[in-house]
Chain A
């Protein structure tokens, strides 16, 4: 960049502005192009290629991978199960998170900062570590089984199981629901609730007609932040579900790295359809919730 002389012509100034804009944009935009856009395009390319016998990829293009995806129950079930687990996790996080966020909002400022901080710590803590903590608690000789025995029950195989996966997912994602809800509730004007009460509305009616509709943006943001990572994860279902709970993430991981031989074209097709379905769901969700809002 050069120094702008005061007597510069408008044209030179414009050129300089353009240069400056280009310098600001180029590093990040090029990085994102090469290491984000291009990889997605290459996955698209792979999804039409043919899997080789040793896990390699043969550059013969066809729709075989997509036909396999549609034809086999295994894949349909994985989509179905992943979306179902994602929905369960999101709804439970919302049911648990909304009252908590409300309590945080109503707390005294000092206490509120502490309560917020206590949600931020798990929010920033490694997901793997938090999943691992549940392995300790649920393990065969762990605390829950000790408690069960102390109460006179028989030991249970608590994990790997579908229930353990759900608990792990709720635990891991709850902070992602609470924070946007809190942000939304903290902006809510609570005098509206008093106005509503003065006009004779009961608590539930005031909540459903006033507070909830006005905090829908927080509900939407929280739900998306919980739903997307949940549907795509494979760590929780791998560690707490063993091979019993096969979600999309587990299938993808196997197709790319573990199965014998790996099948990258099929994995690519699975990932792309997954991304497409997920985007569609999120768009529909956004549309319907914002329309209700108005």
Chain B
């Protein structure tokens, strides 16, 4: 999403140690402490014996064991993973195809499509969430009055909605990887008699694969972490992890929430490692 150059040249003045540099260093230290202190405290207090989960009174893993027996939470976790998986697959396929169309072809309405693709990234998430809620309610109402079939919002309305906001992010990432693509490789393939399908599967796709995986990882993380759109499109019958956590947090702080939050944190960290690894491969 954000193009961060990993191997930029280092400024020549970097080694100079001055008062200014020291102040910058101190500021950086304090900022990192600000960023990490809450995370460390959260992890620490998932192991505390304090039943309110806000101070250190001793070590226990009891809260994790309780989570393992918490069927509501487990059910919510399974649902969330399923949503993220399906949404990632659909948005990665659609997004990669769209990226190819946008980078390779000139067609009427291309500028409009470009703008449309950026819109889900820049409009406030809550507006998109409410729009989807209104849409499903309107569409289901219309369907019922026309055919008598009753549909309700469930896990599929969440998946559909997640795909709608993930596509744009996949397109941005895959397009970036298509920018530096050497078209001569495809021409060489064609000259050697490969048909378009062979060229796509044997040349194009393998070369843009790091971008596609990067886009998929981004979509997976976005879907896994999304709260606002899930909250409005899930309907009363289905349970999703962020929505369940939000509901419990509203009631009270408990060490069990500290524990599930810690697990979510660890999963996010694993995904960062993975995405960094993929990016290294790309460079």
Contact = CB atoms under 8 A, between A and B. Distances in A.
Please indicate whether A and B come from the same complex rather than being unrelated chains: yes
Interface of A: 1, 3-4, 17, 20-21, 23-25, 27-29, 31-32, 35-40, 42-43, 45-46, 96, 99-100, 102-109, 113, 115-130, 132-137, 139, 141-143, 146, 171, 174-175, 179-180, 182-183, 186-187, 190-191, 193-194, 203, 221, 224, 228-229, 231-235, 238-239, 249, 252-253, 256-257, 264, 267-268, 271-272, 274-275, 278-279, 282
29 contacts: A4-B196, A17-B105, A24-B105, A37-B116, A40-B127, A42-B131, A96-B27, A108-B14, A109-B10, A124-B272, A125-B225, A127-B227, A129-B245, A129-B261, A132-B253, A132-B257, A141-B55, A142-B55, A143-B41, A171-B35, A180-B2, A183-B5, A186-B4, A191-B12, A228-B122, A233-B228, A264-B134, A271-B131, A278-B124
B233 to A, nearest CB: 10
Given A36-B120, A129-B42, A256-B133, A190 B13 contact: yes
Contact of B54 (A29, A42, A118, A142): A142
A188 to B, nearest CB: 8
Interface in B50-102: 52-55, 90, 93-95, 97-98, 100-101
Nearest to A140: B54
B225 A126 contact: yes
Contacts, number: 276
Interface in B113-137: 113, 116-117, 119-120, 122-128, 130-135
Contact of B134 (A116, A203, A233, A268): A268
A137 B196 contact: no
Interface string B23-49: 011011001101111110110010000
A193 to B, nearest CB: 7
B261 A275 contact: no
Given A31-B94, A109-B10, 10 more contacts: A24-B101, A27-B98, A29-B113, A40-B127, A119-B35, A120-B276, A125-B225, A128-B249, A136-B42, A272-B127
A202 to B, nearest CB: 12
Interface stretch (B146-154, B178-186, B208-216, B263-271): B263-271
A100 B28 contact: yes
B219 interface: no
A43 B130 contact: yes
B98 A4 contact: no
B202 interface: no
The 7 closest A-B pairs by CB, nearest first: A232-B124, A190-B11, A39-B135, A133-B38, A39-B131, A28-B94, A28-B98
Nearest to A275: B127
Chain A: interface secondary structure?
helix
B207 interface: no
Contacts of A120: 272, 276
Contacts of B28: 99-100, 103-104, 115
B35 A183 contact: no
Interface in B165-218: 165, 167-168, 171, 195-197
B46 to A, nearest CB: 10
Nearest to A218: B2
Contact of B258 (A104, A125, A136, A238): A136
Contacts of A136: 38, 41-42, 45, 53-54, 253, 258
B74 to A, nearest CB: 18
A128 B127 contact: no
